[in-house]
Amino acid sequence: MGDTPRSSDKHPRGAHREYARRKGVERDWRKGEGRWRFDGDEESDRPDSESARSAPRKFRMARPANERNALVLQTGGPHVLLLDGEETLRAQARRATTTENGDATLVVIGDRVQYIVSGEGDAIITHVHERRSALMRSSVSTRDFHQVLAANVDLVVVVTAATRELLRPGLIDRYIVSAAMGGMDAAICVNKIDLLDDDDREIIDDLDAMYDAAGYSVVRTSAETGDGIDALSQLVRGRICVFSGHSGVGKTSLINQLIPGLSEKTQELSDQSQRGAHTTTRSTLYPFGDGGWLADTPGIREFGLKHFEATDLHRYYPEFVSVADKCRFASCTHVHEPGCAVIAAVEVEEIHPMRYRNYIQILTSEQGE
Ligand SMILES: Nc1nc2c(ncn2[C@@H]2O[C@H](COP(=O)(O)OP(=O)(O)OP(=O)(O)O)[C@@H](O)[C@H]2O)c(=O)[nH]1
Ligand SMILES: [Mg+2]
Ligand SMILES: [Zn+2]
């Protein structure tokens, strides 16, 4: 037998054997598969093969040796990019990769993962740690498709553009509701203010006041002229922020402005409505400020919300919460119930009618028939 363990106080025989076993597991991972290990009580609880299948909880993926920790910097390309200290690695997940996040998207930007090295600059992701926050969207039509867009984020910067075609308040509300559900703050960035005419300026002023009353920061920017970039920089500095929104609103252009020297590809002006193909296809984290990160993400078309109770939705509308206490029924959904204080507040415009319309739109479309 080739390797005789050296026995000393520092490396007791048992520990060495465990290490040798984990080296074996590491080799399995490199070949493509992890190895299941029985995790129950070895003496009394060992199942026969029948119950092994029916009681898979008692099995854990055996941990390989030499696992290290890293941050997921990029997804959407041929491989996932990891950052460990100063080193970046090209990584792949495996079927055996374990996660603390249930059946949500396995690996997303911002994830903290464990990995093993599988070659020069190459890695295999062995485990994904629990997310403290997650921005998730669902399919609008079926709702059985969920996609996590980013993990461990502090602030969702919902980017919109100050042009009629691209300004979509319904979408903004879906983002900020989803941010609150996932444990993140949200702020709104209205970009392309250089294109504002006087009519549109009124619309933007109103939108600004509406979100301000709801307690959200609104910054107006132009990635073209540089207007408002300082204010945006103040807002995002030192935090982990994800820039998200419809395609073509200028997410990548803004991040290029914020981070000198970065020159990520932006959309060519394809036609006058500025609706082109999606330009950014990968999600990427860029370091910014004191320990902060900015995530650029591909544009999205639709944003469904994961299942929620109809009586809970108003909790994600901060300006509804204090008013809703005065509704006649504790289970009020603020749609048509008699004695609804929210409806009364909308009538006197204490609550902005557009926020209320968005609320109703989300409630009716997401709850289905
Ligand atoms: N006039 C004007 N044009 C802008 C501004 N910001 C971005 N653009 C232009 O709008 C187009 C889209 O910008 P991108 O930064 O690629 O948009 P994006 O949100 O990253 O788009 P996707 O990656 O497809 O999601 C480009 O042609 C930009 O030059 C702005 O503030 N003003
Ligand atoms: Mg982009
Ligand atoms: Zn009510």
Indicate the pLDDT class of residue 36, thresholds 50, 70 and 90: low
- Burial class, 65, CB count within 10 angstroms (exposed 0-12 / middle 13-18 / buried 19+): middle
**Res 288 pLDDT > 80:** yes
User: What tokens appear for 79 in the block?
Assistant: 């491989």
- Burial class, 97, CB count within 10 angstroms (exposed 0-12 / middle 13-18 / buried 19+): buried
Is residue 194 within 8 Å of 225, Cβ to Cβ? Answer: yes
User: What tokens appear for 367 in the block?
Assistant: 């709850």
**Res 367 pLDDT > 80:** no
For a substitution probing ligand 1, which of 265, 266, 281, 300 has the most ligand atoms within 8 Å of its CB?
266
Percent of the chain at pLDDT > 90 equals: 59
- Burial class, 175, CB count within 10 angstroms (exposed 0-12 / middle 13-18 / buried 19+): buried
For a substitution probing ligand 1, which of 171, 190, 204, 253 has the most ligand atoms within 8 Å of its CB?
253
Is residue 189 within 8 Å of 159, Cβ to Cβ? Answer: yes
- Pocket, ligand 1, Cβ cutoff 6 A: 191-192, 194-195, 222-224, 247-253, 266-267, 269, 274, 278-280, 298-299
**Res 186 pLDDT > 80:** yes
Q: Which residue is closest in CA terms to ligand 1's atom 2?
A: 192
Q: Which residue is closest in CA terms to ligand 1's atom 26?
A: 267
For residue 247, which of 296, 294, 310 has the smallest C-alpha distance? 296
**Res 234 pLDDT > 70:** yes
Q: Which residue has the higher pLDDT, 178 or 10?
A: 178
- R_g of the chain, CA atoms, integer Å: 25
Residue for token digits 């959407």?
76
HSE on the CB side for 355, CA within 13 Å?
A: 30
Q: Considering only 46-50, 58-62, 155-159, 360-364, which range has the smallest mean pLDDT?
A: 46-50
Residue 195 CA: nearest ligand 1 atom is 1
Ligand closest to 311 (CA) is 3
Indicate the pLDDT class of residue 5, thresholds 50, 70 and 90: very low
CA 251 to ligand 2 center in whole angstroms = 5
CA 276 to ligand 1 center in whole angstroms = 10
CA 207 to ligand 2 center in whole angstroms = 24
Indicate the pLDDT class of residue 130, thresholds 50, 70 and 90: very high
